[in-house]
Amino acid sequence: MLRRTFVTAAASVLVAIGMLSAAEAQDRFITVASTTSTQDSGLFDALLPAFTAKTGITVKVIAQGTGQALDTARRGDADVVFVHAKSQELKFLEDGFGVKRYPVMYNDFVVVGPKSDPAGIAGGKDVVAAFKMIADKKAPFVSRGDKSGTNSAELKLWKAADIDLPAVRGEWYREIGQGMGATLNTANAMAAYTLSDRGTWIAFANKGDLGIVVEGDKKLFNQYGVMLVNPAKFSTVKADDGQAFIDWLVSPEGQSAIAAYRIDGQQLFFPNANDPKA
């Protein structure tokens, strides 16, 4: 009887695995390594169904920080990378892991902070001056600290403000090594400033006492690029289907779908595939 129980259990496991395999086999899919900002803002939920309906290709999105997404692609675990840190993307291309980089769209970063505004920067338009003030006043600041695109943008801003982080950092500068949402949750709980992409900020539901303090500076623009992972490096890369996704993103149809995505009437992403310098 014991044996029968074992046999039944083993059989049900095989059936379960068989069902899974069947479900996987019927899909034609690509894997896209992308950033938390594109997923948490809801952009992919709006874009992907249109692409899938047109081509029959399902898109599986792994949402990570830009650094981790590029690393996933470097290991050959994704077909396409869709991220936002141009210098890291160019390095990726240079190392031969990508085929070609296409600019897709931009959104912008905003500095958010508590209503009490301990650094006195609310309403400013000059992000570099605001960062100087935060460091001078040692006002609490939460950093992603995860090599994401947002993290690189933040580090670039400290540099532009002539702040030597390793020298001045202390209690006030908190690196938490997590995604944008977790960082906003932390900033809310600590009444701290942080840098966020606008999309995640608008979609974020736990704003609490936080609000936008600095926005609109050109330095806060955040460019997204998309690349096919080099099939010459990894034969498993689905080059045709991956390229089809890229072509669709930069096509007039994909670009207008990006422009049409709104939350609370606000446009989050601005297509600019036709700007070769982006």
Partner 1 sequence: MQQDAVPISSILSLLTGDGGNFLGIIFLSLQVTITAVTCAGLVGLPLGAGLALVRFPGRTVIIVLVNTMMGFPPVVAGLAIFLLLSRSGPLGELGLLFTPKAMMIAQFVLVLPIIVALTRQTIEDLWTEYQDHMTSLGAGRLRSIPTLLWDARFSLVTTLLAGLGRASAEVGAILIVGGNIAGFTRTMTTSIALETSKGDLPLAMALGVVLMSLTLVINSLAFGISRVGARFSGKS
Residues in the chain: 278
Q: Does 90 bind partner 1 (CB under 8 A)?
A: no
Within 10 A of 267 (CB to CB), how many other CB atoms are there? 14
Angle, in degrees to the nearest 10, between helices 86-94 and 149-160: 120
Query: How large is the angle between the packed helices 252-260 and 239-250, nearest 10 degrees?
Result: 60
With a CB cutoff of 8 Å and minimum separation 6, the contacts of 205 are: none
Tokens encoding 124: 């400013």
Q: In the window 218-247, what residues touch partner 1 (CB under 8 A)?
A: 234, 236
Query: Cα angle vertex 37, ends 48, 76, to 5°?
Result: 70
Residue selected from 46, 50, 52, 63 as contacting partner 1 according to rule CB under 8 A: 63
Please, what is the minimum distance in Å from the beta carbon of residue 96 to partner 1?
A: 14
Minimum Å gap between C-beta 62 and partner 1 is: 4
Q: Is 185 in the site for partner 1 (CB under 8 A)?
A: yes
CA dihedral 91, 32, 202, 103 (to 10 degrees): 50
Options 35, 38, 40, 269; binder of partner 1; rule CB under 8 A: 40
Query: Is residue 13 at the binding interface for partner 1, with CB under 8 A as the rule?
Result: yes
Taking CB under 8 A as the binding criterion, the range among 57-65, 87-95, 106-114, 163-171 that sits at the site for partner 1 is 57-65
Among 99-107, 112-120, 143-151, 198-206, the segment contacting partner 1 (CB under 8 A): 198-206
Say if strands 210-214 and 58-64 run parallel, antiparallel, or are unpaired.
unpaired
Binding mask 158-177 for partner 1 (x = CB under 8 A): --------------------
Q: What are the C-alpha distances in Å from 193 to residues 38, 87, 126, 133, 159? A: 22, 25, 15, 12, 17
| Identity of the residue, 24 or 264, whose beta carbon is nearer to partner 1 in the bound complex | 24
Stretch of 71-79, 142-150, 155-163, 264-272 contacting partner 1, by CB under 8 A: 71-79
Q: Which amino acid is at 234?
A: F
How many CA atoms within 13 Å lie on the side-chain side of 243? 9
20 counts as binding partner 1 under rule CB under 8 A: yes
The answer to the question of residue 76 lying near partner 1 (CB under 8 A) is yes
Which CB sits closer to partner 1, 63 or 155?
63
Please tell me whether residue 179 binds partner 1 under the rule CB under 8 A. Answer: yes
Number of residues that bind partner 1 (CB under 8 A): 39
Binds partner 1 by CB under 8 A, chosen from 46, 50, 62, 191: 62
Give the span between the Cα atoms of 124 and 216, in whole angstroms.
9
Which of 61, 121, 133, 195 forms a contact with partner 1 (CB under 8 A)? Answer: 61
* Ordered DSSP codes for 11-73: HHHHHHHHHHHHHHHT--EEEEEEEHHHHHTTHHHHHHHHHHHHH--EEEEEEE-HHHHHHHH
* Token reading at 2: 């014991």
| 2 binds partner 1, rule: CB under 8 A | yes
Q: Which CB atom, from 236 or from 274, has the smaller least distance to partner 1?
A: 236
Residues in contact with partner 1 by CB under 8 A are: 1-3, 6, 9-10, 12-13, 16-17, 20, 24, 31, 36, 40, 45, 60-63, 74-77, 178-182, 184-185, 203-208, 234, 236
